[in-house]
Structure 1
Amino acid sequence: MSDEGYEMQYVQEAFDTNWIAPLGHNVNMFEKELADKVGARAAAALSSGTAAIHLALKAAGVGEGDIVFCPSLTFSATANPIIYQNATPVFIDSDEKTWNMCPDALEKAFDKYPNVKAVIVVHLYGLSADMDPIVEQCKRRDVAIIEDAAESLGTYYKGKHTGTIGDYGVFSFNGNKIITTSGGGMLVSHNEEKIAKVRFWATQSRDPARHYQHSELGYNYRMSNVLAGIGRGQLKILDQRVQKKKYIFERYKRELEGIEGIEFMPDHSWNEPNYWLSSILLKGKVRPIEIMEALEHENIESRPLWKPMHLQPYFRECDFIGIGAAEDLYHNGVCLPSDTKMTDDDLSQVITIIKRLCSRG
């Protein structure tokens, strides 16, 4: 059998063995295969990437009143679990050279808040953050690092998979990710004891007793055996997906890079992205909303970059450390269509629309 089509085999196995619940061979094997793929010692398959961040915070000892640093330019699922733990998020600005957490802003945040419990680092749109200075700062202060690699499965930083550089790594298998289980996530770590504890919490913290006994607060966060089967099949084609995403990005860049006012997401020698979403910045007369509306007119979806957390109504009282680079990225950025099912004709249509619009601008 080719690598395509394994999903149905593993799903059928779950039904044939009558293991449909959040237990079973697929769950165990998906954890092992994902951990082996990225080079982590242990993994816990969970119901979502958000659940994985939540339990990573809990495993890191984050509790009521603790401060957690988090990038401002990210999706709310990165920040919400901080609130689940009754902790306080402090949002860190972006580095325009990476689009991810700015090490200089992080240093200033540490100066202002020396008693920090954890730092969440996001690898945005499949671009690795510059981890070395971030790791150095956190190690110097004995602060846990949680990598939100929800968008960066298959991305490398200096030869290492994102998600395996800090203390905990989080992956998402939501329907829009590079591989999917329709919904689901994974927490990885080199600390096998912590991952075992996460599995315990994720299965309602049921004590190993004959009767139903719970000595700790638990959660219904485990991945089902059916979805894990889909994940096992999808994992086999991860490298193919990365290559297709790279092809899409390079086609856009080759065709659009020379147009005045268009800048592409940054590339560095130490970063091997998975190119999850091909994104651009518009620094000329044409604005992001014009690109999005022109594509929408042809029934083609595109999106702005994430709206920073410190601009969100829910988080308006939280502190922000930086100079506003995250806002600039948000105001000037567009995520172009990047689905791996796109054909060359699909790409040509998007490129033609953007060129036509820019020539008018």
Structure 2
Amino acid sequence: MDYFVFIGNEARSVTQQTKRYLMYIAQNYSYAILRPLQQAILAQGGEVYWFIEGKEATAKYLQPNERLLTSVKEVKAWQPDAVFVPGNVVPSFIPGIKVGVFHGFNAGKMNRRGREDHFEIRGCFDLYCTQGPDTTLRFDQLALEHGFFKVQQTGWPMMDPLFQYPHNNPYVDEHDDRPTVLMCSTFSRNLTCAPHLLETIKRLSQSGKWRWLIQFHPKMDSTIVEQYKALQGPNLTFVETDNVIPLLQAADVMLCDTSSVLLMFLLQRKPVVTFRNQSPNAHIINVEQAEYVEDALAQALMRPDELMEEIEQYCQIIHPYRDGKSSERVLAATNEMIENGLKGLKRKPVNMIREFKMRKKLKFWALK
């Protein structure tokens, strides 16, 4: 039996067996997180639409075959079965099972309340799909404590393409055999290495010893971005992209701070040098002063056995999957919840302040 829904001015026939999945994003980097999951959904015959919250993500990154819903009214008319969110919040008035898939790994960042932001429970999700044992254990404990969500360890969908190496990586220069250093940095003033290392990167790039790729968080201060763009030349390229995976694959070593992107790089079993990392450990080489960066990078490029063993052990803890099938596991866990419902779970808490802010932001005031 078919029924019809209206999306904009378009009437569409949808079979009752077809599951519908909404990709709910607020940042451009979320496209790369969710596209492997979209691919798995389409392979199983499901339907996918995207929805953009706010002004920090843009529809210009949508691919020709990807479809967009432009209002909450359209979303409610379409009635998704599940909503995938690579962020911290999703409005309660968006229909469907709310699935948290995270926007990065746990890098130990503390929020304004002095708590680890990765484990902050905001009462928005029915299901958390965790990346590895280190976060699964904590979320399992939180699930018992709160009672309104479930947890399933699946791996992270964004990592699926990391283990599929394309032949035409735009950031690989087959005619240049110098080591490639990828510098990434978060935007937080208290954590970013970018302003502190500007002169160091300028000097090292001018030496020509290594090839440099620079990529920053999209919220990075525009003044700092322009300063690094000014360093571009034959030895240094500044990259703005919604997909960091090809950059990770192209580099031999990473220079970073406390950004969670460094954990993605480590999963390739490649070394990372950090500047004033908040949680330094044996699987990274951390320095506190800019003058030590060059020697640390040189040491990392030698890939010492002890360091590489520490990296391997750490990878098994944060994301043990290397099969490129985390998306399939996320989808299976989501479908199980769609089919079984929310039985056994408490009602999620109501946050009236957040509800009002989200309605105002999305310009949606209808009660149903």
TM-score (ref. length: structure 2): 0.33
TM-score (ref. length: structure 1): 0.33
More helix, by proportion: 1
